[in-house]
A and B are shown apart, each in its own frame.
Chain A
Amino acid sequence: MFRAAVRLSVSGARSLTWTRLGCTAPLAQRCYSHGGKQETDDEFDARWVNYFNKADIDAWELRKGMNTLIGYDLVPEPKILDAALRACRRLDDLASAIRILEAVKDKSGPHKDIYPYLIQELRPTVDELGISTPEELGMDKL
């Protein structure tokens, strides 16, 4: 009898988990507030590109923006990273620029195909701004 209860509660818990995380699909990071309209991926990206494109962004805002962005369940799009790297250039902050590249590699976790794609997309920006990648500096090895 207990075994039957265990089986029922397992399947019940499974469906509970499914419904709770059911709203994840494309908008992975904004399930919490259901008051207003859900933001699309493009709106999210545009918001962050605008954030980093602010001409007089200061160092705190750069750090705050990057830390917030890294907290989301996503790897930032190349266009967001491009804006962030240009913000680093405006702030004369090469260290942060290289750190951003390290951070997105780490965010990819086990998905090893994301970082090479990002470097491919960011290659023009990285060359233009004179940023060395962590690999070029040998910083990716322990």
Chain B
Amino acid sequence: MSLAKPAMRGLLGKRLRFHLPIAFALSVVAAAAFKYGVTEPRKQAYADFYKQYDATKEFNNMREAGIFESVRPTGK
């Protein structure tokens, strides 16, 4: 039983034409997933935190805790 002639040319080109667009698309999907799954929530968390942030109040809390050297707690 003699074997038929298989395709012998352009095999890598055919493979690349198939796989490269998929690879490119999957990379873009991965980047989008990371952006919307990680970085955007992270940015939103920071924004939400600082929206109601009272710097003066936090400074006074830190001052009373005695962590500064340049300004002593109000008691002393």
User: Contact residues of A with B, CB < 8 Å?
Assistant: 2-3, 6, 9-10, 13-14, 17-18, 21, 24-26, 28-29, 41, 73-77, 109, 111, 113-114, 116-117, 120
Give how many A-B residue pairs fall within 8 Å (CB-CB). 68
Contact in complex: A10, B13 (CB < 8 Å): no
Q: Nearest B residue to A114 by beta-carbon distance?
A: B6
Flag whether B45 is at the interface (Cβ < 8 A). no
Whether A10 touches B10, Cβ cut-off 8 Å, given contacts A17-B17, A17-B20, A18-B17, is no
> Which parts of B18-46 form the interface with A (CB within 8 Å)?
20-21, 24-25, 28, 32, 35
By the criterion of a CB under 8 Å from any partner CB, how many residues of chain B are at the interface?
Answer: 22
CB distance from B60 to the nearest CB of A (A): 41
- Interchain CA distance A18-B22 in the complex, whole Å: 12
Whether A10 touches B28, Cβ cut-off 8 Å, given contacts A25-B10, A28-B10, is yes
Contact of B11 among A41, A73, A120 (CB under 8 A): A73
Contact in complex: A6, B32 (CB < 8 Å): yes
The 3 closest A-B pairs by CB, nearest first: A28-B10, A24-B13, A74-B9
Q: Which residues of A are found within 8 Å of B67, using beta-carbon distances?
A: none
Contact in complex: A73, B12 (CB < 8 Å): yes
CB distance from A15 to the nearest CB of B (A): 9
Q: Nearest A residue to B9 by beta-carbon distance?
A: A74
Flag whether B76 is at the interface (Cβ < 8 A). no
Q: Which residues of A are found within 8 Å of B20, using beta-carbon distances?
A: 17
Contact in complex: B10, A73 (CB < 8 Å): yes
